[in-house]
Amino acid sequence: MNQVKKADPNNRTVAENRKARFSYEVLDTIETGLVLTGTEVKSLRQGQANIQESYASAEGGEIWLINSY
């Protein structure tokens, strides 16, 4: 019997920078997690994340997401 799996609402892509994949050659992809606070969580849940002009910077053994809102 076929069972239909329901998507987990807590595990989904909330933002993807498609422009970066179009404009640049992406050689490697790294999936990471983020630590979010109050208003950031609310914005992501409402689908209002914007990473169009953002980039990642490696500093002190950590990766920082810059210019995202």
pLDDT digits (tens, 9 = 90+) for 9-68: 677 777 777 888 888 888 888 777 777 777 878 877 787 877 778 888 889 988 888 887
Query: Is the whole-model pTM more than 0.75?
Result: no
- Quick check: is 22 in a domain? no
- Quick check: is 45 in a domain? yes
Which structural domain range is residue 56 located in?
29-66
- Quick check: is 10 in a domain? no
- Quick check: is 1 in a domain? no
**What's the pLDDT at 2?**
66
pLDDT of residue 5 exceeding 60: yes
Q: What is the DSSP string of 1-65?
A: ---PPPP-TTS------HHHHHHS-------------HHHHHHHHTT----TT-EEEEETTEEEE
Give the total number of structural domains in the chain.
1
- Output 20 or 1, whichever has higher pLDDT: 20
